[in-house]
Structure 1
């Protein structure tokens, strides 16, 4: 895992920016996260749009979610970290409240 940024206070509060490089890095991230932490991750969402004529189209959109962590689960078979939480930063597609993070 690559550490891009670290800003830790004396009371152990702060933030880090990590980039996973291997599947095992998700396990380490699982052990670092706690309920109540904030997590920012990039994700791709399917967005449906309706035209004025009533036709429906869909597209994939990359967005960034910032969640207040409520639950954490690690899937060892897929090496995926599943994080459930409430979105704390509003954006155009902020109605999603779950992120699956993969390496």
Structure 2
């Protein structure tokens, strides 16, 4: 597990799910740009109530920055090419500073 920060755009809408234990969680996908101009998908799961609320307030293609535990993965696309992906357990949604006044 790697603690990390991911910034990108929401891909689709965040979804509310319920675990076998009856606890609610939220899942979503974030498309993040890589240094070489490609994109990587981050599969996000959130158990924290504040993070869930923030993710559910976003719409498709909204910008988002998340911090949390990252696990690198790979997947195979429809053409048989192996692509990188990342799973994240999100602990925080980061927002721009809003000063008073």
For the superposition of Structure 1 and Structure 2, which TM-score range results when normalised by the shorter chain? 0.3 to 0.5
Normalising by structure 2, what TM-score? 0.32
Normalising by structure 1, what TM-score? 0.32
Q: Highest relative contact order (Cα 8 Å, sep 6+), 1 or 2?
A: 2
Bigger CA radius of gyration: 1
- Greater fraction of residues in strand: 2
